[in-house]
Each structure stands twice: as structure tokens, then as C-alpha cells.
Structure 1
């Protein structure tokens, strides 16, 4: 695959928006988290604009520490991703469907079967966002007191993904002949037991669903720690990352591609798609006023809780002088190490106080945030694309549906005018639309 002149776009699909105060805005459906029609509407908007995929984040736990904060956030009533995307598969035709699922608290066989099923339900549009659990409250939901060590989680994930890919290959593409005349449903010469025995999993196979339409559903990965970059270079076909500056984005992009090549992969087999949080207005002042309104809806306790969590629970910001400068380093966390690093680097570059960093985390979590006109948003995206800091972006609206509509109505036409985004779909499957090759079955002679 050669890098074309058009960027890829995904939609980070959240019920109210990325800003912590978005759920309180009058335009946001109060019960959107459990309203399939709300999510279908967002997916339809993205599909109408020819986005490549919708991306559903997930954590199998409530992530806030106490009831005071649980009471004020608007996200703990939402669907599990694979279930919701299975429903959306019947309400969409072209757009890819990316489901987040953790390797820390799942079993490979279950997940291989569910993602393969989603690929069939969507006729080849499924993808799996591979994560290792990064929130400390998940462990207690799965009979454990603490999360495994950060690097240990990636060690388990590596074997987990190899097992899943092996299970997807246990039937060759044409193994199910379904010959009614001769009474032969499956050609067992094209059946291959996995018989995996590793350090963490023992899985015989075969999978009791045919090989997915895409061969393997697209593998997406979100993680930028040293272990996460190594994992991305080995397995990921799409990488979702937080890169708030052009220079850090270029460095990350080059590192991931270089490590992928060192493992025998082509650099363009790995698409780097950082997040972008655009707040778009027809004027700069209009965009700024939209942000200020969202900020006015966010309680100070929620601001501090969110910052403590994204910094890895190594701070207690309720007890610090918020007008003091953020230190250059904090204790290493066992949770999301890469995001702590990104946030501290951003604070150091901009000489932020704690108060400023806390507000930034609420607004963007360290992703690239552009508050401005359609030209200004398009400028930032095109510059990152042309300077090889991104192959495309995951759009993270601060509020939905209005923020998504603003982007589609104001920024998409500008990107198309500059020849940087497509006007329609080029293939049936997500792989075809992302220009990714369909993998051969490891068990066939051709492979």
C-alpha cells in the first residue's frame, strides 16, 4: 500500500461528547448512553460524510473514586461496545465498526468469536481496539485486588492476540462447502486445530464460526508507552494515540513506522491516527464561546478527579496549590503511563500551573485540541498529515451531535477542497476502505 494524498478519519463515538460538561448541554440527549437511536444517528452522520470508521472506547468498570464524582459525570449508563456495534451493523452500510475490548479481563476464545461474529453481521466492517486494562477499579470486578504490572499486561496481551489470530485461521476460507446433495457441510481437510499452549493461555480450538470476511478483522491499538509502541509495531494496523504537538507527533510516527519495519512489516501497514478535539466556529470568537459554555458545566470536583485519574492516581490534587507550577516529573503509574508522559511534557512546554493542566485534561485529555475556524482546524490537520505526524485522525467531538455536525458541515468541505479527504467509500470492507491487505490464512499452502 502506498500512502495516498487523502487522510483517514475515524469518529470517537461517545454518548455526550469528550468534554466532561457536555452531558449538561441542552442539545445533548439526557439518556443517550442507552438509546441505540442516538448512536445510530451519530454513526449515520459519520457515514454520510464518508468517515472510515466509528470507534467505541470502553472500560469494564466505573472509573471514578467516590459517589460525589460518580453523581456528576455523564457516562456510567452506556452500552458495552460489541453489543452496540452489532446493533449498528444493521443500521449502517459502509462505515467500519471498532470495538474496544481488554486482553486483561477477557478470554481469547470468547473475544475471537464475538469479533468474528461482528465481522459477519457487518459484512466485513469489524475491527478490534486492543487494550490492556488501565484503570485500577477494573481489577476488583474480576476477582483481583490490583491490576497486573503494566509490562506484564502487555506480555499477556501479546499472547492473547496471537491466540485470537490463530483461532480466526482455524478454518480455511472455503472450508464450509455446505454440500446438501452429498451431505457434507464442512471439508475437514481445511480444518486446523490451534492447540496453543503458552505461558498464559491454553486453547485447543477450532473456532465455531467460519473465518471472518476480512480474514482477520482490523487490529487497532491505543497505547504509547515503550511497551505500547513495541506492541503497536508488532500487531497494530491502526494506532490511536494522543499527540498534542507537531514535533512530538512526527517523532512518534517515525518511531512506530521504524519499529514496524524492523519486525519485517511495511511502514504503511500501520496507520497512525492521533486524536483531535476540534471546537469549530465560523469565527474564532464563536468557537471560544462554545468552549467556555462547556467549561461552565463542569464541576470543580470533576475537574480534579479527571486530572488525578489521567495522571495515573499518583497525585492528590485536592491538597496542592493549584496556582503552583506542574513539576517536570511524577511517580510512575501502573495505569496509563503514556498519557501521564504526554500531559507532563505538554505542561512543561507551556509552563502550566496545576489549574491550567487540570482544565486542559478535562477539555482534551492531552489530545490535539483546536478551537477556531474551519480553516484553522483544517490547517492543523493538513500540516500534521503532510509533515508525517499522522496518516489521519480520530475525531473526538467535545459535544455531540452538535460538535460532530459542525465538523462535517464546516471542516470536511475544506479538507475536500484541499484534496485531503475523500467524498465516498471505495470498498465494501473496512480493510478495503483503509487500503489494508487481507491477511492470508497461516495454515494454507499459499501462506
Structure 2
């Protein structure tokens, strides 16, 4: 029997979609990823479908290499807009949908991030979220005065301290600090201003933050790592976790492990939403959905398909393409490599078959079927406690989102699994996650 547990829905809207050949689809505008009107249409379509949030993943460099030669010039994942600039524009042109973007803890300073996201939260009326990443590629390092990326341990140690500093800066002001008393001439109550004065191994930050308290207490914290270090950061701070399991049992194990960690940090399981990524191919019939999948896969150049494995699992060029997938060779993102290897072993995939699978959804889980079949699968994961919702990663944008909104969202609503309208104004209200207390004990949410 269905629990009818309401689910959360996010939309990943990077580039032109998550399929490697999205830009070659007959309905796609190849230049749209550099066009604001494209993202405005996508965000408004997601808002009309009552999604909790839109999400912009980001890298601060072109991570793809020309391996094998000729692959890079075939990739559309090479030119995009800066996320916070884009989300600030979308904040002024949407009214309800949450606005989440990635920012690196390795190539930023905590004060920058605290100030930018607090500003976005105020501009949007309480709809901002920060996706915490450490970055991983040498291509990014080489844009920031380094020849190589920081080692794994150092960047996660830095990230943990970075997040704590940002959270501390967001507590700089009590929600009722600003008196604006013209008669007395007192602009703010000095007792309600807090100076962080942080001194740690990686950062020395005095504060306070020069932005008033967030409309939702603080921006929502999002995390996507599945490594041990990443899961600990998530358990302590994240309210949304993006995950990439490809089968139900792996999803259940990850869900149970991460939720169990929350108690050590004084948090309730309901305070975190775990949202696996899925790339749906939707048809009125299963055959129609399969045709859409096959159409896009046929547009993937072999050089480009193979490059997806280089980026995710290391250089596998010495292995036969039609042979079995070996252990990852110096993977750049260990958690993704682990999941992809498990997928290959489970389905007995060759290297060629695995890169086709990755090219179809950039590593996210592929669902091919009718709206009923798609929702059956989503509901099963929620009931099995493998997910609280899903991060939808359409193969082609805006086409995949429009099909989801037209066919899948109504089926979710018919089953009572998803809202028919927004009941709140902030991203925290959409997600149903609490407003964190201030470390200084003052009021946390400004009066409306």
C-alpha cells in the first residue's frame, strides 16, 4: 500500500540537457546554453509544474580533455553562463521556485560565498541554496595559480572548515537586528550583531557579514558527494543531498547510512532530503520512449562517448572497448567511479556499453517508459526509503522538462505524491526542512 509520502522535485538545468548529444537533437537550439531566454523558459516551466527548485551544477574551467583526440570539439559542455549571475536574473523573473547553484570550497573564500548566497537569498525572497563541492580537476586548478589540484584529504578538510565559517557568517545578524529608528538615529541594535572571529587551520575570518540575515534563516545547503568525507559534511550541514545510485538496494543502503549519521549532529532524519538523479525518457508507450532514447544515442560520436569514461573513471584507453570494464584507473571523482563500476558489473557491460549509458545521462540513472512506469519506479524508491525525492536531469532541454511536466507531473499529482500548488514562499518551506537556530540564540527569521 502506498504511503503517499509527498516527494521533492529538483530540476538540473545545466547546458542543453544531460545527454551528450542533446545539442544535436532536431528540436534543440545548439546555442541556447549561452542565452538567458532559454533558462528563463526552463525555470518558468519548472515553476509552473511546481518543482521545488532548479539547480545549476558548475565547474570553474572546462574539465573535458581532448581524449581521445577529436572528442572535445564534439562536446557542447564547453560554454555556459556563470551560475550566480544567472540565478540572480532568474530571481527577479520568477516568484516561487528555489534557486540552487554550485560553488567550490577550493577556489573561493568563505566570505565570498557567504555574501553572494545571502544576497541571492534576499533578492529572491528566500529561495537560494548552495551546492557544496570541493572541485576535482587539474583544469580548474590551472585557472587558479596551481599546476595540480589539492590532494583529496586536504580539499575535504578545507571544505569542512569552509562550510562552518560560512554558516557562522550567516549568523552575523539576528533577524530583528535592524531597528531603522529614524527618531533616535539608531540603525541597528549593536547587541544583535555578532563577530565571528574564526581562526582555524585553513581560514582566518573575522566578520561580520555585510548582508542582513537571510529571509529563510540561511540559504539551503546542498551536497552531492558519496565519499566518506563528503557524507560527513552532508550529515553535519546539508538539507538536500543529490545522489547517484543506479539500483534500489544501493539506494536503500546509501539512504540508511546517511540518515543514521544525522543523530550524531543533533539532527532529525526529516531535516534532510535525499534526491537521486534520474534522466527520464518518456513516451505514451514504452516503445515510443525507447525510440527517443535510441535516437539520441545514435547521435553520440564514438570519440565523445569514450571521453565520458576518461573523465569519470580515469584513462581506460589501454583496454579493449568491447571488453569488460576494469577497476577505475586514477578516478577524478571516486564516488561516481564506484557507482559506475557497480553498474557495469551488475549488467555485464563492456566499456563501449558503459560509455553509451553515461552519455545518455552523464552518470545519472536512466528511466525509459510511460508516465505510469516512470512514476511506479519513483514511488517504489520513496516507499523503500531509498529517496525523499528526485533531481530530474532531462536528456534534452527544454524538451525533456516539457514532456515531464505534461505527462509525469500529473501522474504524480493523481497519486497524491506531489503538490498541485505551492503552500509556502521559501525553498525551506517547499522542502519541508527546518530553519536552523542561530549559534548566538537570537531570532532566526526576519518578519514578513
If the TM-score is normalised by the length of the shorter chain, which range does it land in? over 0.9
* Cα separation, 2, equivalents of 1:351 and 1:206: 55
SS at match of 1:444: coil
The answer to whether the aligner puts 1:373 opposite 2:367 as a matched pair is no
* Cα separation, 1, equivalents of 2:21 and 2:362: 14
- Aligned equivalent of 1:219: 221
Equivalence map 1:15-414=2 (5 Å): 15-66=15-66, 68-311=70-313, 313=314, 315-317=315-317, 319-327=318-326, 329-333=327-331, 335-414=332-411
Contact 1:240 1:274 in 2 (8 A): yes
Contact 1:244 1:366 in 2 (8 A): no
SS at match of 2:322: coil
SS at match of 2:142: helix
SS at match of 2:179: coil
* Cα separation, 1, equivalents of 2:355 and 2:28: 24
Among 407, 413, 416, the residue aligned to 2:413: 416
SS at match of 1:424: coil
Equivalence map 1:1-12=2 (5 Å): 5-12=5-12
Aligned length, in residue pairs: 440
How far the C-alpha of 1:446 sits from its partner, in A, is 7.2
Contact 1:116 1:211 in 2 (8 A): yes
RMSD of aligned Cα (Å):
1.5
Contact 2:33 2:80 in 1 (8 A): yes
* Cα separation, 2, equivalents of 1:446 and 1:290: 52
TM-score normalized by the length of structure 2: 0.95
Contact 2:4 2:417 in 1 (8 A): no
SS at match of 2:346: helix
TM-score normalized by the length of structure 1: 0.96
- Aligned equivalent of 1:431: 428
Contact 1:310 1:365 in 2 (8 A): no
SS at match of 1:274: strand
Long gaps (5+) in structure 1: none
How far the C-alpha of 1:30 sits from its partner, in A, is 2.3
Contact 1:170 1:207 in 2 (8 A): yes
Contact 1:15 1:39 in 2 (8 A): no
